């Protein structure tokens, strides 16, 4: 038979374009306010009446469509693996829960750990009917246990007594050591969550609670918890089962916690937290607007470049809470954290490390036994740079009000090895200024080395802009090129216990920084702080770095960037971005990093110069590094001004961990015989599809490390080309094969 290979290529291309659709072929079942559970069959013409009936009936691979209307559910709905729920839209599709009792849940997704949920919940409003502490019904909206690849998007989750959503990735309750099992691929995005987190006499809960998650993404949500009386509002995002989170991202959300009304932290079990997470590795928090604090505990680097990377957030309130409220709180061990390009406004403290004694583990023992190097509160190689701390205030109540501080909750013995505080602007609130700008006063029994404080502006604190403890157990301390102004004691640092060993104090100035205004802390063109800083590894504009959180002119660049994305294709990373408008733009420099701290330019793309409509750009990184690659754009104009884009990242593997070695299809024996290679023992899924899009085989498989011989029964097939798709949660491999008999 003669084969036209040009036509074959077109067929193959069409199959690949069509593949997601044919793979996801599913039946759709319907519920309607006018449906009937007794006589309905779930078809569009004869729908059911309740979600309970649908979830009790519909099986994996199918969809429950909820028609517009208002529903009342009286029984817990258990959603099977592989079943999705889609509403007609959250504004018109409302499910009210009448389920009552402690831990009552409207929608349960419960499986053993390492289960591929492969499902979505979207387009609905669920209402737990909380009115007050004495008038409420359902405790929890959605509870996901053990499942991966569960997406919840474009929903409204409102009025649940205790928690809106729980994502629990493993079956260990409150693990104090690494549970070893993590759900992957879960996402919670574009949702609105209101009035669904409690504070009780014993605990505070979250609107979304996460534990045992790897790579989970929470983005584009509006989460507001300020509707209840004092000391009864929980926090927007909280850990579940002691956390254990790896590589998770929280970005582009609006998070609001009720203004804290206590006189000391933890009063009536309440705190000022908008985000509280335990046992984190590789966490990224960016692009959020947050009213309330970020509290992170047991912050380990693990296999990632950082324990947490917190950047480009707005933290604080437009009007200051009269009571004490924090910005970022880092408790116990914190290693390789990067906090940059944030704005903290109207907070009592900006960033504080809350340490305990060297041997105090907080209930989380060292996996290797004994005390880890540096202790359980070791602070290792942490960076705080290019942040604005504005209107830092004392406030009513207990707390260490300051810009940046290392605090000891017991023992006064923090252990610090590597702390860089660069290019921050820290401004106290007039009339309610704290005493100290950068505070090391709790370290008389501790030890600190390799501390660098450079290029900062610190303004308006009552006592000292920088202060140490009564016994200075610090060495290798560099304090240079800062500008303290308007602080007490002649703008000099205070070292009550004497200067640190190997102490350098040089090139600091004491002049009015000339901010644009009392609310705009950019520098005026005449500021004496322009170009006189010291190079600390980040790009600058002009003859040298400026002092303070932002380069002069860098934030007024007239280029409007709409989006910036990265994806992998055949081992190369494809970067795409587009602008809404440009004026006097020169070029885009593309920078890459493997640690999210040090960037190197890998190419440049000319900009359009001037444009009033959307312009699209692209760049290919043909040789990305193995592991996580971070990218940012430097947007340059023709006057030499610049600004940075957001940062995007992608994980590039060294090579496929799975491969299809051989496939034999036999119509004589109705079997598919395959040899599949895997770099590790893991579960996977395999599908076989013919040229018309018909699914011949769709089955899970278990792969051992090395080659696995797998045989599956298939229906009768004809001669021709077939496509084999093998996929795990991490990757997909497609191979074509022929049936010849």
Chain segment 208-259, per-residue pLDDT in tens:
999 999 999 999 999 999 999 999 999 999 999 999 999 999 998 999 999 9
For the chain, the domains span 557-652, 658-739
Rounding to the nearest 10 degrees, give the CA dihedral for residues 689, 695, 701, 707: -20
- Among 422, 633, 724, which residue's Cα sits nearest to residue 545? 422
Q: What is the mean pLDDT of residues 57-70?
A: 95
Phi-psi region of 262 (alpha: psi -120 to 50; beta: other; left: phi over 0): beta
Highest averaged pLDDT of the listed ranges 259-268, 446-455, 546-555, 621-630: 446-455
Residue 436, pLDDT > 70, answer yes
For residue 723, what pLDDT is reported? 79
Q: What is the pLDDT of residues 651-661, one digit of tens each?
A: 776 666 788 88
Least confident window among 446-450, 526-530, 668-672:
668-672
Model pLDDT, residue 730? 65
**What is the rounded distance in angstroms from the CA atom of residue 142 to the CA atom of residue 232?**
21
Q: Is the dihedral of CA 176, 178, 181, 183 positive or negative?
A: positive
Let me know if 266 is exposed, middle or buried by CB neighbors in 10 A (0-12, 13-18, 19+).
exposed
**Would you place residue 613 in the very low, low, confident or very high pLDDT band (cuts 50, 70, 90)?**
confident
Q: Do domains 557-652 and 658-739 have the same CATH topology?
A: yes
pTM score: 0.78
List pLDDT tens digits, range 315-366: 999 889 999 999 999 999 999 999 999 999 999 999 999 999 999 999 999 8
Total residue count of the chain as it appears in this document = 741
Residue 559: per-residue pLDDT: 67
What value does the mean pLDDT take over residues 160-187?
95
Q: What is the pLDDT of residue 384?
A: 98
Q: Is 721 helix (H, G, I), strand (E, B) or coil?
A: strand
> Does the pLDDT of residue 6 top 50, yes or no?
no
pLDDT at 218: 96
Please tell me the predicted confidence (pLDDT) of residue 554. Answer: 60
The C-alpha angle with vertex 306 and arms to 300 and 312, in degrees rounded to 5, equals 125
The 10 Å CB-count burial string (b at 16+, else e) for 625-653 is: eeebbbbbbbbbbeeebbbbbbbbbbebe
Mean predicted confidence (pLDDT) in 474-501: 97
What pLDDT, on a 0 to 100 scale, did the predictor assign at position 717? 84
CATH 2.60.40.10 fits 557-652, yes or no: yes
Written as six digits, the tokens of 651 are: 């994980």
pLDDT digits (tens, 9 = 90+) for 364-416: 998 888 999 899 999 999 999 999 999 999 999 999 999 999 999 999 999 99
Backbone angles phi, psi at 210, to 5 degrees: -130, 140
Percent of the chain with pLDDT over 90: 69
| 658-739: CATH number | 2.60.40.3080
DSSP code per residue over 305-332: S-SEEEES-EEE-SS--SB---SEEEEE
């Amino acid at each position: 038979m003669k084969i036209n290979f040009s036509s074959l290529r077109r067929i193959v291309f069409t199959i690949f374009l069509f593949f997601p659709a044919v793979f996801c072929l599913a039946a759709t079942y319907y519920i309607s306010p006018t449906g009937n559970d007794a006589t309905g069959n779930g078809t569009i013409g004869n729908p059911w009446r309740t979600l309970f009936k649908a979830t009790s009936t519909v099986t994996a691979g199918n969809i429950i469509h909820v028609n517009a209307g208002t529903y009342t559910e009286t029984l817990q709905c258990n959603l099977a693996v592989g079943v999705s729920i889609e509403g007609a839209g959250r504004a018109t599709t409302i499910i009210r829960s009448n389920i009552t009792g402690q831990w009552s849940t409207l929608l349960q997704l419960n499986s053993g750990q390492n289960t591929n949920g492969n499902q979505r919940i979207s387009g609905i409003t669920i209402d737990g009917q909380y009115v007050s502490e004495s008038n409420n019904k359902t405790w929890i909206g959605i509870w996901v246990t053990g499942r991966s690849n569960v997406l919840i998007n474009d929903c409204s989750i409102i009025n649940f007594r205790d928690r809106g959503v729980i994502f629990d990735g493993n079956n260990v309750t409150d693990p104090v050591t690494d549970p070893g099992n993590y759900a992957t691929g879960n996402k919670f995005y574009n949702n609105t969550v209101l009035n669904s987190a409690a504070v009780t006499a014993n605990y505070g809960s979250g609107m979304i609670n996460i534990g045992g998650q790897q790579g989970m993404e929470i983005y584009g949500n509006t989460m507001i918890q300020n509707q209840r009386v004092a000391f009864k509002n929980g926090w927007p995002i909280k850990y579940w089962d002691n956390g254990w989170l790896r590589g998770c991202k929280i970005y582009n959300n609006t998070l609001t916690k009720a203004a804290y009304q206590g006189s000391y932290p933890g009063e009536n079990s309440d705190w000022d937290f908008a985000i509280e997470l335990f046992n984190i590795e590789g966490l990224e928090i960016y692009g959020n607007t947050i009213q309330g604090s970020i509290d992170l505990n047991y912050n380990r680097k693990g296999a990632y470049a950082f324990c947490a990377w917190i950047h480009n957030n707005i933290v604080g309130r437009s009007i200051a809470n009269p009571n004490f409220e924090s910005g970022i709180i880092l408790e116990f061990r914190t290693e390789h954290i990067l906090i940059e390009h944030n704005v903290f406004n109207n907070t009592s403290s900006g960033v504080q490390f809350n340490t305990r004694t060297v041997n105090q583990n907080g209930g989380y023992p060292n996996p290797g036994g004994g005390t880890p190097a540096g202790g359980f509160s070791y602070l290792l190689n942490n960076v705080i740079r290019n942040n604005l701390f504005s209107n830092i205030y004392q406030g009513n109540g207990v707390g260490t009000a300051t810009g940046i501080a290392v605090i000891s909750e017991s023992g006064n013995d923090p252990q610090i090895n590597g702390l860089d505080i660069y290019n921050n602007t820290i401004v106290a609130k007039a009339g309610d200024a704290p005493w100290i700008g950068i505070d090391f006063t709790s370290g008389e029994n501790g030890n600190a080395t390799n501390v660098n404080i450079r290029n900062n502006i610190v303004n308006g604190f009552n006592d000292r802009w920088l202060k140490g403890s009564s016994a200075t157990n610090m060495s290798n301390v560099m304090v240079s090129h800062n500008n303290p102004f308007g602080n007490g004691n002649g703008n000099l640092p205070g070292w009550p216990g004497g200067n640190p060993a190997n102490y350098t104090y040089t090139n600091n100035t004491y002049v009015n920084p000339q901010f644009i205004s009392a609310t705009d802390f950019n520098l005026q063109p005449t500021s004496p702080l322009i170009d006189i800083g010291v190079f600390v590894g980040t790009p600058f504009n002009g003859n040298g770095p400026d002092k303070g959180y932002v380069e002069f002119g860098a934030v007024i660049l007239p280029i409007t960037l709409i989006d910036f994305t990265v994806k992998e294709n055949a081992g190369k990373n494809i970067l795409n971005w587009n602008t809404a408008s440009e004026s006097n733009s020169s070029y885009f420099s593309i920078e890459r990093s493997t640690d999210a701290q040090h960037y190197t330019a890998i190419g440049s793309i000319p900009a359009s110069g001037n444009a009033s409509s959307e312009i699209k750009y692209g760049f290919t990184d043909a040789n990305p590094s193995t592991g996580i690659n971070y990218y940012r754009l430097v947007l340059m104009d023709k006057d030499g001004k610049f600004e940075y884009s957001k940062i995007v990242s992608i994980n590039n593997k060294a090579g496929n961990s799975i491969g299809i070695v051989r496939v034999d299809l036999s119509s004589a024996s109705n079997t598919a015989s395959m040899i599949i290679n895997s770099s590790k023992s893991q579960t996977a899924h395999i599908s076989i599809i013919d040229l018309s899009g018909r699914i011949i085989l769709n089955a899970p498989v278990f792969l051992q490390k090395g080659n696995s011989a797998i045989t599956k029964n298939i229906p009768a097939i004809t001669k021709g080309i077939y496509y084999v798709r093998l996929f795990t949660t991490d990757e997909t491999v497609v191979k074509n094969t022929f049936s010849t008999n």
